[in-house]
Amino acid sequence: MSIEIKATASLRALLDACLSRHFGVDDPEFHSFIEKNAEYTELSTGEYLVKEGDQTSEVYFLLTGHLRALKNTPTGTVILGEIGRGETIGELALFTGKPRSADVIAIRDSVAVKITREVLEKAIKKKPHVAIKVTRQIIERFEETNNLQNPPTIPVNITFLPITDGVDVDSLTELLAEIRGQKGDDVCLIDNGFITETFGPLDKPDIAFPRGTVSLGISDLELKFDSLYMIADSNDSAWPQTAIHHSDEVVLIADATANPNITELEKELLAAHKNLRVQTTLVLIHPEGTKSPKDTAKWLDDRSVSRHIHIRRNHRPDYERLSRILSGRAIGLVLAGGGARGLTHLGTLAALDEAGLVFDFVGGTSAGAIMGSFAAMDVHGAKIEERTRDIFLNSPFGDITSDYNKIPYLSLIKGQRAHAAMEQNIKDNGYENMDMEDSWKTFFVIASNFTTHKEQVLTRGKMSTNVVASASIPGVMPPTLIDGELIYDGGSFNNFPIDHMRQLGARYIIGVDLLSDKIFKHEMEQAPSSLAALRDRFRPKKKRRYRLPPLPATLLAATVVTSIARQKELREHVDILFQPPTSGITLLDWSKYDEAFQAGKDHALEVLANLDALTLKNFKNTKPN
């Protein structure tokens, strides 16, 4: 049951910061009036702040804790989003008075402050000059929350729970805190020893109302630090249960070489209703020098985890990546489709590596999926050109799209060479029959499901199958069958999946778009016959009369034509955008490897040279690799 509480100095200070940020007003009298008339409410885990359909007209600020928005649908309850410290609930209700559109529930013990419409109106009446500024600020914030630029909710309290032997959680959290400190964050490390020394021995979990000394102490620390890293290092479950109860996220730490079965401790500590379960991340620590993770599916199949992250022991770049992901600073790399023009992606990757820019998640469509597989497997440095040249120029299989069908009943191209090339790529950089979930960096590809008529995001299963599926142009290549469904090139729906990268939790996004803004008009009244066009093709380039694409290229272009408008719109949500020149490179001309690679690299280096150091800092490790 929620209870009204008195405001402490720390709570008032946080509310003051929230008022400045959300209303855009720094007037002390305006703030003072609102603070004196605000209502501070403490909610216990599982308690509702508002219910769908409630006819109320106040705004709430979450000062501590973690809330979740839920929507009831005919098929069940849907999670709409997470609400973290400093965020608001119900801003528009101040103006519209419309019923609440969703339930908002406390995922852990929380403190929210309520400001009624009446209080805000009185505050504005006392200071009429702020009215327009407040209104504009609320509208702007509403627009922000409804576009892809809205940053992910950052977890404040994170519990690190070792689930196997052989992991040094103390050293891990110390390093993560040190990395965050380099970014200006103040992290408090809390283990069972800290609790005993500060609050006395914990005889039983402090998870019930009224809150005990430890629970109140954690809330007070939450107001003083950017993040609390709670280390559940005790064999006694009292502290781990208390830590998890007060967490925004639980990070399971495991030795990747250990038994992947779920432990009884996990079952006990993480037993919660799905609507109340906090985000759970699995971190698998691999021995130094590991070529590639393997059999990750065995860890994931029976666990209810939100995501998993692979790191190599004593490999600092991996710890930097983990730190960014946990602190809401993850960097995503998105590669668009475009056939052989996607070879420019490889030059871009080389330029990013040369400039010291890094990324944590990789997503791509079609050719972007193919090139993205190298990035996801952590192929970098000189190996980028070395390994990819072997696939696209020196492959024993030949040109990956030149195995034409003599009888093109299902497709113009057999697709066998593309499969063989991808399998060889994955075997060289990972292992044979490698799964998507075994890539060093989180990896997804976009495909079009012709059975369900929907866009499909592929994140698990055999990597070579998923990548080829994403690049299987309808009519050009045969479909890929996944679970009995026909899967084709993802460009039909989403050729530049920036939106999915945001949903994955990327705060910053690097995008490589192959779509040209140039419009080429043909100076002819009607298209020539197929025979005339074919004859023209054999003339010297300067003497050709027709500049029409051949059938395979037309089919490839047809797969993305309906998604071009969406692709152009998604560019607006990229933090660093590359648009390498691709003129002269046809959609199926893989022999242009050298030209495309260099064009991509030169363009990327030019773009990066024009960016300021402060922007680039967000895309770099705190220490060189």
3-state helix, strand, coil in the chain (%, to 5): 40, 20, 40
Amino acid at 4: E
- Per annotation, catalytic residue among 360, 435, 489, 513: 489
- For residue 173, the number of C-alpha atoms closer than 13 Å in the C-beta half-sphere is 26
Count CA within 13 A, CB hemisphere, residue 165.
1
* 110 tagged catalytic: no
Which tokens in the block code for residue 4? Answer: 């009204």
For 511, residues 6+ apart whose C-beta sits below 8 A from its C-beta are 333, 334, 336, 496, 498, 570, 571, 574, 576, 577, 578
Burial status of residue 268 (CB atoms within 10 A of its CB: 0-12, 13-18, 19 or more):
exposed
Task: Give the strand order in the sheet containing 157-162.
Answer: 187-190, 227-231, 157-162, 249-255, 279-286, 307-312
- Pairing type for strands 103-116 and 48-50 reads antiparallel
Cis peptide before 549 (omega within 30 of 0): no
Please tell me the distance from the alpha carbon of residue 110 to that of residue 87, in angstroms, as a whole number.
Answer: 12
Tokens 């309906």, located at residue: 562
- 457, containing H or E segment: strand 454-458
Respond yes or no: is residue 27 known to be catalytic: no
Which position among 219, 227, 234, 366 bears the catalytic label?
366
Q: Which two tokens stand for residue 163?
A: 């689930």
Residues labelled catalytic: 366, 489
